[in-house]
Amino acid sequence: MSLSPPLIGPASGSAGLLLAVASAMALAAYASVVVAGGAAAKATRWPRWTLILAWAAQGLALLVDVGGYGLVPHATRFGFAPALSMTIWLVLTVYLVESRFLPLHSVRRVLALLAAVAVLLAWSFPGQARPLASSPLAPLHWVLGLASYGLFGVAVLHAALMNRAEKRLRRQAAAAGGMPLLQLERLTFQFVSAGVGVLTLAILLGWFFTPTWRWDHKTLFAVLGWLVLTGLLVGRRVYGWRGRRATRWLYAGASLLLLSYAGTRFVLEVVLQRASEGRL
């Protein structure tokens, strides 16, 4: 993919206003969930509905921003901050579904805080506008890559909950208010397996069908992340890896994937851009 920004005009005023309103609504709603928290949040339903409102507003902001509404000529717009925001949004999507059936109150404030930071970053750094892809399979490659980000984000969330549940068991503390350890472990590896499958398809599509594929930093980190996460699944199946060893492999692989796009784009859009403008 070419890294030079195309000559595309700015978004229209109405699209910019809609993006600002949706982002502000999401920020305000997420902030209220963070401030509420605690026992009071468990006793009432309004934090959940507020979180759903924030999730919907964030989704609208992503649709306007990434969809490139108001750009002339029409194009998509993406960067490190929208990638982070969409990853958190996908994690929240799974959380909102799971929390209907499982006790997950303890992570609601953390997710709301992360989502608020992601919305603020996406609002401040909307990314670069790019013409529509020439290859019909390029959008599928992009969607699969984002889906794998979300799946591994959910896996990391469950792994963190699993580590905390293990600590409680070692301290012989009550396990009330959380998911059973074996259920957390099963869900974690289910999401890892799904993420590896989706990421494999994304890499193969990019390799065989995307004309601009090349071995750059983004590709290198993505392949390294795939190797680590595939190694985790092999170690789990062959050697029975579990617990902290498994979560360390998961965190390492997810970190490499985060660097593969979000990290690379952050350097290009923020660090190098500021350097070129004489700010560094």
Q: Is pLDDT of 173 > 70?
A: no
Please tell me the pTM assigned to this model. 0.82
Tell me the one-letter amino acid at 126.
P
- Return the CA Rg of the chain: 20
Residue 71: the pLDDT is 62
Q: Which has the minimum average pLDDT: 82-91, 107-116, 166-175, 246-255?
A: 166-175
Residue 125: the pLDDT is 86
The token pair at 277 is 């403008």
Identify the sign of the CA torsion 67, 95, 195, 260. Answer: positive
* C-alpha to C-alpha distance for 3 and 214, rounded to whole angstroms: 12
Render pLDDT for 66-103 as a digit per residue (tens, 0 to 9): 877 766 556 677 788 898 999 999 999 999 998 888 77
Tell me the one-letter amino acid at 8.
I
Q: Is pLDDT of 245 > 80?
A: yes
* C-alpha to C-alpha distance for 47 and 31, rounded to whole angstroms: 11
Identify the sign of the CA torsion 224, 226, 229, 230. Answer: negative
φ/ψ (deg, to 5) at 271: -65, -55
Residue 208, C-beta contacts closer than 8 angstroms, at least 6 positions apart: none
Percent over 90 (pLDDT), the chain: 43
| Greatest mean pLDDT range, 32-36, 50-54, 217-221, 264-268 | 50-54
Closest CA to 260 of 210, 225, 215: 225
Percent over 70 (pLDDT), the chain: 80
SS (H, E, C) 162-186: HHHHHHHHHCCCCCCCCCCHHHHHH
Residue 167: the pLDDT is 83
Mean pLDDT, range 179-198, rounded to an integer: 91
* C-alpha to C-alpha distance for 129 and 70, rounded to whole angstroms: 11
Mean pLDDT, range 207-231, rounded to an integer: 84
* C-alpha to C-alpha distance for 199 and 67, rounded to whole angstroms: 22
Residue 151: the pLDDT is 95
Contact 107, 161 (CB under 8 A): yes
Residue with the larger pLDDT of the pair 69 and 175: 69
Cα dihedral 25/27/29/31 (nearest 10): -160
* C-alpha to C-alpha distance for 220 and 214, rounded to whole angstroms: 10
The token pair at 185 is 């472990």
Local confidence band at 12 (pLDDT 50, 70, 90 cut-offs): low
